[in-house]
Amino acid sequence: MQHRVVVTGMGAVTPIGNTVAEYWGGLISGRSGAANITHFDPVDHTTKFACEVKNFDITEYLHPREAKRMDPFCHFAIGAADQALKQADVNEGTCNKDRVGVIVGSGIGGILSFELQCRELAANGPRRISPFFIPTMISDIAAGQISMKYQLRGLNYATTSACSTGSHAIGVAMRHLQFGDADVILAGGAEGSITPLGVGGFNAMKAISTRNDDPQHASRPFDKDRDGFVIGEGSGMLVLETLEHALQRGAEILCEIAGIGFTADAHHITAPAPGGEGAVRAMHQAMADAGVNPEDIDYVNAHGTSTEYNDKFETQAIKTVFGEKAAGVAISSTKSMTGHLLGAAGAIESISCILAITNGVVPPTINYQTPDPECNLDYTPNEAREKKIKTALNNAFGFGGHNTSLIFKAFED
């Protein structure tokens, strides 16, 4: 028997708010998190702005000595994890921690730590490299640090699939729970890549916007004048558990995660497959897994990166999947406000799907000013919209051709 899987906790550290409530407030008000970069001096960079996390104090969660031994992506992960675990009331009294797992991924991992130690090597030689370098940099360390801090002794690992990382973590957590590998799993993603090398690398690819004179309007998914994504940072976490376990301990159930779809484009290292062919298969798989049809989907949180090909091909993919119903489905890209959180994107966007269901509101796609004839669906332009949402679809696609679609449903007994 496969177990049903529900969500009982959420945590978010984002460019528009460092709690779930702040994040949601930023989304429904249409607030952009973009501003000039403060993490380093971007004077020599082509792009000089990003969506940075603001006013986040890791010492609210960790002793300063512990915090110094972690990369920023791990700080964000612990902040979001703490919120989610507290909301779900995961503790020794409510859960057997031998049966509580952690699956937390990062698309890039500790790139700031990598850069700093490369500089140390170049300036002072190998003997000055920190003994904490490797365990600070590796992408799985967020999952490891969370398990140690909260004594979560179940399955523990990281996913890494570029910009679908967070969604992959949530999807595989669902599968583990369905088949009884754990009672509870904390799942999500974290990223802290607003660094000289991170921004410079994306500039070299011509992947990010260069709208330096107007950062707040730079992330403009599906708009004809889009010129690339805006890099963001932060973390999103969900506590998933089997329905039986949640009911037995009296946990508050926020929604049900009902379906997942994982596919590969097998096409190109960065460009999506023409027509969004891989995305089409991922959405179809997720709906089949959830036992729903296209007409049952009330809201699509699009990958919507604000890049030329992603937005065009994702639009084509949605048209293929939804057919004549495509024009009537509510779609939005919350990256228009948060920027692109890379490996954390799918996780914070899953939270926006859950909040859309529980609040009956579709977040907007801001900065939608000039319609693109090739992107002509209902992207919820510029203002949030009240709508009863029972079932939501979250898309996440990554470099390397990784596609993930997740289905969230309002919980019903």
Summary count for the chain: helices (H), strands (E): 13, 14
Could you tell me if 160 and 104 are in contact, meaning their C-beta atoms sit under 8 angstroms apart? no
Catalytic-residue membership of 303: yes
**One of 45, 75, 340, 402 is an active-site residue; which one?**
340
Angle, to 10 degrees, between the axis of helix 20-29 and the axis of helix 345-359?
80
Neighbour tally for 64: CB within 10 Å: 8
Tokens, residue 174: 């669902």
**From start to end of 169-220, where are the E strands?**
184-191
Could you tell me if 206 and 308 are in contact, meaning their C-beta atoms sit under 8 angstroms apart? no
- Tell me which H or E stretch contains 103: strand 100-105
Cα–Cα distance for residue pair 105/160, rounded to 1 Å: 6
Rounded to the nearest 5°, which phi and psi values hold at 294? -55, -35
Catalytic-residue membership of 255: no
Catalytic-residue membership of 340: yes
Could you tell me if 342 and 193 are in contact, meaning their C-beta atoms sit under 8 angstroms apart? yes
Cα–Cα distance for residue pair 6/166, rounded to 1 Å: 17
**One of 74, 163, 353, 375 is an active-site residue; which one?**
163
Neighbour tally for 289: CB within 10 Å: 19
End-to-end CA distance of the chain: 17
**One of 45, 168, 245, 303 is an active-site residue; which one?**
303
| Paired sense of beta strands 385-386 and 391-398, if any | unpaired
Cα–Cα distance for residue pair 307/285, rounded to 1 Å: 25
Residue positions annotated with a catalytic role:
163, 303, 340
